[in-house]
Amino acid sequence: MARQKQPDPPDHGRRRSLSDPLSAAMLPPPNESPHERESRLQAATDAKRASDAIDDMLRHEQRNRKKNRAEVQVLLLGQSESGKSTCIKQFQLLHTPAAFHAERIAWRAVIYLNLVRSVRRILDALQPETESIDDPADEVDAYSLEPASLIISATGRPESAILGTKVPNYEGYRARLQPLIQLEDRLIRLLSSPDEDEPTHLGPWESLAPQPYTPQPHQNGRPTPTIMIPQTVQTSVPSPMNGTPPASTSSPTSSMRGSEVAIHTSTNWKKAFSLGGKAKSPKSAHSGEIEGWWEDPDDPVHILHACAPYMQEMWRDKNVRERLREKRLRLEESSGFYLNEIPRITAKKYIPTDADVLKARLKTMGVVEHTFLISSGSNRGVHWKIYDVGGARNQRQAWAPYFEDINAIIFLAPISAFDQVLAEDTRVNRVEDSLQLWQQVVSNKLLAKVNIVLFLNKCDLLQAKLEAGVRLSHHMISYGDRPNDYDSVSKYFRNKFGALHHNVTPNKERELYIHLTAVTDTRRTATIISNVRDIIIKGNLRTMKLV
């Protein structure tokens, strides 16, 4: 509301100090009686007391704000699917377990989606070659699947993949599992718009077409965080890492392919499947029973439950396994793999376990902030802010605004991915990309004083891959004829990343901490996280003393 200009006060003929209007206002009025003087002084004392009380309050609030201010800020960096969000889940399990457990139910939707997607990928892979013989795009697609699960060998496409093992039951599987394909669509819509009463009433699939990433302004110029569900089917042609870049293409074979659905965190995707959401039944809270979504006929669990025997049959079919082997599609090693646990996951009263949630895959877009109160040793509790960033190439421009204030970086490099290519650029080997990214981070002058911890991640998958006979030297020529066992390979990567840091760091004093991790393993990761916590706190104190 606009303030009106007040009329000038009457002039009582006294001299007023024009330079100090406040003292002028405080001057006693002319001809003041003793009684008037007393009440004026009393009013002034009361006003001072009130003003002092306000000052005290402000000081108290400021002290509190300082106390609550994040004292440690950590940035999680690394390429897409390196395990950053999984690492955050481990922090939550350790430091806010009640919140983590409360949210487990909400992850049901993501787990269902991951499972349904694996089924669709099998059906795609089983599609007889003859169906797409005239379509070069489909021919490539039949051979190629998401890079993260495609095992690439330098030897090229085997003869058997071209001929293709016949799967006599293919048509039957496709027909009986069709409801799951529709469910995939519905789950994506439900997660994208948890407030939508009738998710199926949304527009056609095209309305969820890929959204180019446009960081939205947020406070202090930082972008709004977003979460993505990956839908892209990428294609790639095998090539050794140090060799010629492979040809690549991306070939959508259905309207749902080649697109990613953006879920803005502001829409609160967890709401759709949380117990507080509308998916619950009106069951009485007094019965002591968890309110049952299984009594809601619209809940996706019913379709999954009905299709479970067919999913199971297809996954156990020897011809199917052979076909997947021919196509070098090792779903077991891909993100969000639940096919070995179909009956448990599709049970009507299924509640995700901690391990299920850790395995669930949702792609991050933008930067998501997490706050923890972390105590260590005699320290009563320090506020930590941990930023989980999107690691895909088109996300990385959002990292820089966070470089200025942070105290530590945890960098994740998934070393099991030495035979895989990036989803966003299939000419680029994943480990090669991690090394490049690592070099950029550790040579950055803005980050010279920042403590850096390196997680060489997915060591469980690395071990399984080496034991299955996949040779590192086929993909990294520089590995030469060294033994292809876990100890030698992990040592090689440790030295390679360590040497790169040593050569390019602008701060030769900086100590680098390297851990071999499998961040889906809660026990091992809990120990590593407490070590990292102490390292960061100590490093922080050291830096503060230097400043």
Ligand X SMILES: Nc1nc2c(ncn2[C@@H]2O[C@H](COP(=O)(O)OP(=O)(O)OP(=O)(O)O)[C@@H](O)[C@H]2O)c(=O)[nH]1
Per CB under 5 A, residues contacting Mg ion are 84-85, 364
Q: Does 117 bind ligand X (CB under 6 A)?
A: no
Compute CA 376 distance to the chain's CA centroid, rounded to the nearest angstrom. Answer: 26
In the complex, minimum distance from the CB of residue 130 to ligand X, in angstroms, rounded to a whole number: 34
For ligand X, the binding residue among 71, 457, 496, 501 (CB under 6 A) is 457
Identify what 108 binds: Mg ion, ligand X, none; CB under 5 to 8 Å per kind: none
List the interface residues with ligand X, window 484-523 (CB under 6 A): 518-520
In the complex, minimum distance from the CB of residue 397 to Mg ion, in angstroms, rounded to a whole number: 16
Instruction: Compute how many residues bind ligand X; rule: CB under 6 A.
Output: 25
Applying CB under 6 A, which part among 75-83, 124-132, 242-250, 429-437 lies near ligand X?
A: 75-83
State the amino acid at position 476 in one-letter form: M
Compute CA 77 distance to the chain's CA centroid, rounded to the nearest angstrom. Answer: 11
**Residue placing its CB nearer to ligand X in the complex, 118 or 239:** 118
**Residue placing its CB nearer to ligand X in the complex, 208 or 462:** 462
**Residue placing its CB nearer to Mg ion in the complex, 352 or 366:** 366
Phi, psi of 88 (to 5 degrees): -60, -40
State the amino acid at position 56 in one-letter form: D
In the complex, minimum distance from the CB of residue 86 to Mg ion, in angstroms, rounded to a whole number: 8
In the complex, minimum distance from the CB of residue 373 to ligand X, in angstroms, rounded to a whole number: 23
For ligand X, the binding residue among 108, 363, 370, 430 (CB under 6 A) is 363
Q: Does 118 bind ligand X (CB under 6 A)?
A: no
Instruction: State whether the Cα torsion 196-200-203-206 is positive or negative.
Output: positive
Among residues 184, 267, 180, 189, the alpha carbon closest in space to that of 233 is found at 184
**Residue placing its CB nearer to Mg ion in the complex, 76 or 536:** 76
Q: Does 121 bind ligand X (CB under 6 A)?
A: no
Among residues 387, 426, 315, the alpha carbon closest in space to that of 87 is found at 387
**Residue placing its CB nearer to ligand X in the complex, 83 or 223:** 83
Q: Does 358 bind ligand X (CB under 6 A)?
A: yes
Identify what 420 binds: ligand X, Mg ion, none; CB under 5 to 8 Å per kind: none
Q: Does 335 bind ligand X (CB under 6 A)?
A: yes
Cα separation values, 521 from 256, 348, 538, Å:
33, 27, 26
Question: In 3-state terms, what secondary structure has residue 201?
Answer: helix
List the interface residues with ligand X, window 221-250 (CB under 6 A): none
Q: Does 84 bind ligand X (CB under 6 A)?
A: yes
Identify what 458 binds: ligand X, Mg ion, none; CB under 5 to 8 Å per kind: ligand X
Encode burial over 431-469: b for 16+ CB neighbours within 10 A, e otherwise.
bbbbbebbeebbebeebebbbbbbbbbbbbbbbbbbeee
Q: Distance (Å, rounded) from C-alpha 147 to C-alpha 363?
A: 15
Gyration radius of the chain over CA positions:
30
Phi, psi of 456 (to 5 degrees): -85, 100
345 neighbors 115 (Cβ within 8 angstroms): yes
Applying CB under 6 A, which part among 43-51, 115-123, 387-395, 432-440 lies near ligand X?
A: 387-395
Among residues 17, 234, 38, the alpha carbon closest in space to that of 137 is found at 234
Q: CA torsion 384→390→393→395, rounded to 10°?
A: -90
Q: Does 108 bind ligand X (CB under 6 A)?
A: no
Identify what 149 binds: ligand X, Mg ion, none; CB under 5 to 8 Å per kind: none
Strands (E), 67-185: 72-77
Q: Rule CB under 6 A: which residues touch ligand X?
A: 78, 80-86, 335-336, 358-359, 361, 363-364, 390-392, 457-458, 460-461, 518-520
